A and B are shown apart, each in its own frame.
Chain A
Amino acid sequence: MSALLETRGLTRHFALGRGQTVHAVDDVSLAIDDREVVGLVGESGSGKSTFGRTLVGLLEKTAGEVYFAGEQLPAKYRPADFQRYASRLQMIFQDPYSSLNPRMTVGEIIGEGLKLAPGQKSAQIRDEVGDWLVRVGLERNHASRYPHEFSGGQRQRVGIARALIVRPRFVVCDEPISALDVSVQAQIVRLLGELKSSLGLTMLFIAHDLSMVRYVSDRMAVMYLGSLVEIGPSDEVYSRPLHPYTQILIGSNPQPDPRTERRRTAAAIKGEIASPINVGVGCRFASRCPKVMDVCRSVTPALQTVEQQSARRVACHLYPASPRA
């Protein structure tokens, strides 16, 4: 096994009381290879952020396990566990406005993780913070400034430096570009790509913009109502999506090309993401699926390999499992 991080049946539910349960993440098994980038896409409410947070221990696991470099991570983190794992698994957050403490200087924010390790001298931390500021495209003297003095793109650079300064091997990027302008998005995507290669990072890149995810990730995983519905090599999933939901997600994204857009015939998908409360049997997408069949409402489709060569897996009754070689 070359997987650096693996989830087995990872599940996270939220109890609402009165017997109601939100199935935010349901039985997700995903293995991410060392130095691989997996993009995780889906609509808001699909459970992708909850999955990322559960992965790094910010949320307790309801069921299932997470293995990191062969070691099982605790079901519920105690303070000592955070100390132990924070230097290996890190997270970059979506909103660079609310994820940075406004009362701390940028230097304090970035250097805080280093203080966890014993015997760090403050001069040493200051130097390293300065190096990281430069590395993410800011300036050394920015360390004494406060987050509000920076633009969204600059703050996201601070968030990246904060996460990476402790030299993690695995990083969850939770919609790191969604709050940014188009031209800045491309800058951040490129920076993350460069850091990924130079540091040998393994990443889970969560996003709702599939076209951007394709540039960053080796494989793309699509989530709907807490379950993985499709996973495969990014370019293949993007250019030839198999699951009807993936097809709709990609088809809904307008292209910067008026001639393509004028030929657009497929009307928008009807309805909205269904409620994740007390999910029953059958395919979770059945209520919105344009290709729904009777079986979809009674039998939950399993995520199975449909094309052996390309390792594409999809959870849909339209595709028979490919015979084992």
Chain B
Amino acid sequence: MNARVDAAAKPVLDVADLHVEFATHGGIVKAVRGASFAVAAGKTLAIVGESGCGKSVTVQSVMGLIPMPPGRITRGTALFAGVDILRRKIVDGDDVRGNRIGMIFQDPMSSLNPTMRVGEQLAETLRAHRGYSRSRALARAVELLALVHIPEPERRARQYPFSFSGGMLQRAMIAMAIACEPDILIADEPTTALDVTTQAQILDLLQELQRKNGMAIVLITHDLGVVARMADDVAVMYAGEIVEQASAEDLFYRCAHPYTLGLRAAMPSRSTSRTEGLRPIEGAPPDLFSPPVGCGYYARCPHAMRLCEAHRPPVFAVEAAHGARCWLHDPAAPRSVPEIQRGAGA
């Protein structure tokens, strides 16, 4: 128990002020413009946002999966066990990525080698990172398939990916990601391509594995239902920035950024009636070739003030461990949006 408390105090992964850009024919895309977050052992951090907000690029940078060039990490650090892993060269048998940090992707079919038996692919990971012999690695691969509840693991290990359903492929991906008992599992939209019934199974599995081995999970998703189900803490990304960061409880019941509020209104929930309808966020995210100088959400924000256009809001501490990049929390801002401006002065 004590170990967990200590771990909670000290994050296993601490990303600070990450900036990532890509050189393209059309110019430089500023995909991530200052992302900071941390996750502790045994905890789940969800990173939420729409396509193109920079959430995948953020974790891919941490994993060293950004092709450079055209990508470039221009600023920031990612401390894992006290060491900055952002700028480390990826070498075979890397002791951090793929070993102490595992990753699963949205589309399991395209992440597995279609010409290689599933068991062999799992075994390859163990041979590369752990130096296992071929037979020992294959035996462990079967154990791992059993651990992620794939029925008849011996038979399945000898099959190719095309014989697996989408849900089973994602289980196999998870088995591969946890093969080296990582301290962190990064899951990039792991259930987006799956049916709700299969999604529920995969989410159950992730929680079960987390309870067993105490790993931290960084979960990337655009589904607030999945966030509510899984996350201890949440970072909401928009236009390359983290606009709000809070515990799941704070984010859902005391949200402090207009974008978060907009996302929630656009999503159906069981409690809202049909006649209330959905309120979409009008417009589209800004062009990251020339990101807005002020607040990234200015053009779509129903509460935008003149100040927001030209001045980028800093992170305001709404409560302890709850921050929002929104000028509405400035002490001088008019108190006109009670659903966002709670607390002092409201």
Q: Does A186 contact B (CB under 8 A)?
A: yes
Q: A183-B50, A210-B196 are in contact. List 18 more A-B contacts (CB 8 A).
A: A43-B198, A181-B51, A181-B222, A182-B224, A183-B281, A186-B267, A190-B277, A215-B278, A249-B197, A254-B228, A254-B229, A255-B228, A256-B225, A256-B227, A256-B269, A261-B228, A269-B197, A272-B168
Question: Which B residues, 166 to 213, have Cβ-Cβ distances below 8 Å to chain A?
Answer: 166-168, 195-201, 203-204
**A34 close to chain B: CB less than 8 A:** no
Binds A, one of B13-21, B125-133, B258-266: B258-266
Contacts of A185 in B (CB 8 A): 266, 280
Q: Which of B268-288 contact A (CB under 8 A)?
A: 268-271, 273-274, 277-282, 284
Q: Is the CB of B195 within 8 A of A43?
A: yes
- At the interface, yes or no: B95 with Cβ under 8 Å from chain A? no
Residues of A within 8 A of B113 (CB): none
What A residues does B168 contact at CB under 8 A?
272
Q: Tell me the minimal C-beta distance from B249 to chain A in angstroms.
A: 6
In the complex the two chains form, what is the Cα distance from A214 to B278 in whole Å?
Answer: 11
The answer for the CA separation of A185 and B166 in the assembled complex, in Å, is 23
Does A159 belong to the interface (CB within 8 Å)? Answer: no
Complex partner residue of B268 from A44, A187, A214, A272, CB under 8 angstroms: A214
Is B197 within 8 A of A252, CB to CB?
yes
Which residues on A sit within 8 Å (CB–CB) of B284?
Answer: 151, 153
Q: Which residue of B197, B231, B271, B274 has the most chain A CB atoms within 10 A of its CB atom?
A: B197
Whether the pair A261, B229 counts as a contact (CB closer than 8 A) is yes
Residues of A with C-beta under 8 A to B249? 258
A208 touches B196 (CB 8 A): yes
Assess the A215–B268 pair: CB atoms within 8 A: yes
Taking CB atoms, residues of chain B closer than 8 Å to A265 are none
* Nearest B-chain residue to A211, judged by Cβ: B268
Q: Which residues of B221-252 have CB atoms within 8 Å of chain A's CB atoms?
A: 222-229, 231, 248-249, 252
Sample of 23 A–B contacts (CB below 8 Å) = A43-B196, A43-B197, A43-B198, A182-B50, A186-B280, A186-B281, A189-B278, A215-B274, A215-B277, A238-B270, A252-B197, A252-B199, A253-B225, A256-B228, A257-B269, A257-B271, A258-B229, A258-B249, A260-B228, A264-B229, A268-B201, A269-B197, A270-B201
**Cα–Cα, bound, A151→B285 (Å):** 11
In contact, A186 and B279 (Cβ under 8 angstroms): yes
Does A248 sit within 8 A of B, measured CB to CB?
yes
Cβ contacts under 8 Å, A187 to chain B: 280-282
Residue-wise, chain A 183-209 has the 8 Å CB interface mask toward B (1 for contact) of 111110110000000000000000011
CB distance from A277 to the nearest CB of B (A): 14
What sequence of 0s and 1s flags, for each residue 83-101 of chain B, a beta carbon within 8 Å of any chain A beta carbon?
0000000000000000000
Contact A272 B225 (CB under 8 A): no
Tell me which residues across on chain A come within 8 A of B204, comparing CB atoms.
267-268
Which B residues lie within 8 Å of A267 (CB)? 204
Which residues of B lie under 8 Å from residue A215 when comparing CB positions?
A: 268, 274, 277-278
Interchain CA distance A258-B46 in the complex, whole Å = 13
Interface size (A, Cβ < 8 Å)?
Answer: 42
Q: Given A214-B274, A215-B277, A258-B249, do A182 and B222 touch, yes or no (CB 8 Å)?
A: yes
> Is the CB–CB distance between B199 and A255 below 8 Å?
no
Tell me the bound Cα distance from A189 to B271 in angstroms.
Answer: 19
Q: Chain A contacts of B231 at CB under 8 A?
A: 258
A235 is an interface residue with CB less than 8 A from chain B: yes
Q: How far is the CA of A244 from the CA of B225 in the complex (A)?
A: 22
Distance A44 CA – B167 CA, assembled complex (angstroms): 11
CA distance A185 to B51 in the complex (A): 12
**A183 in contact with B228 given A215-B277, A249-B197, A268-B197 (CB within 8 Å):** no
Instruction: List B contacts of A295 (CB < 8 A).
Output: none
In the assembled complex, A168 has its CB within 8 A of some CB on chain B: no
Is A152 in contact with chain B by the CB < 8 A criterion?
A: yes
Q: Which residues in chain A, 220-265, are within 8 Å of chain B measured between CB atoms? A: 234-235, 238, 248-249, 252-258, 260-261, 264
User: In the complex, what residue of chain B is closest to A213 when comparing beta carbons?
Assistant: B268
B227 closest partner in A (C-beta): A256
* A-B pairs with lowest CB-CB distance, top 7: A254-B225, A186-B280, A268-B200, A256-B224, A211-B268, A254-B229, A186-B266
Question: Is A212 engaged at the interface, CB distance under 8 Å to the other chain?
Answer: yes
Asked if B165 is at the interface (CB within 8 A of a chain A CB), the reply is yes
Complex-state Cα separation, A187 to B224, whole angstroms = 17
Is the beta-carbon distance between A182 and B269 smaller than 8 angstroms? no
Contact partners of B196 in chain A: CB under 8 A: 43, 208-210, 249, 252-253
Report the Cα distance A253→B282, complex, angstroms. 26
Which residue of chain B has the shortest Cβ distance to A254 in the bound complex?
B225
Q: Which residues of B contact A255 (CB under 8 A)?
A: 225, 228, 269-271
Residue of B nearest to A235 (CB): B274
Cα(A145)–Cα(B251), bound, Å: 40
B165, B199, B203, B228 — most chain A CB neighbours (10 Å): B228
Cβ-defined partner of B200 (8 Å) among A184, A189, A252: A252
What distance in Å separates the Cβ of B251 from its nearest Cβ neighbour in chain A? 8
Assembly CA distance A214 to B96 (angstroms): 46
- In whole angstroms, what is the CA distance A267 to B202 when docked? 11
Residues of A within 8 A of B280 (CB): 183-187, 189-190
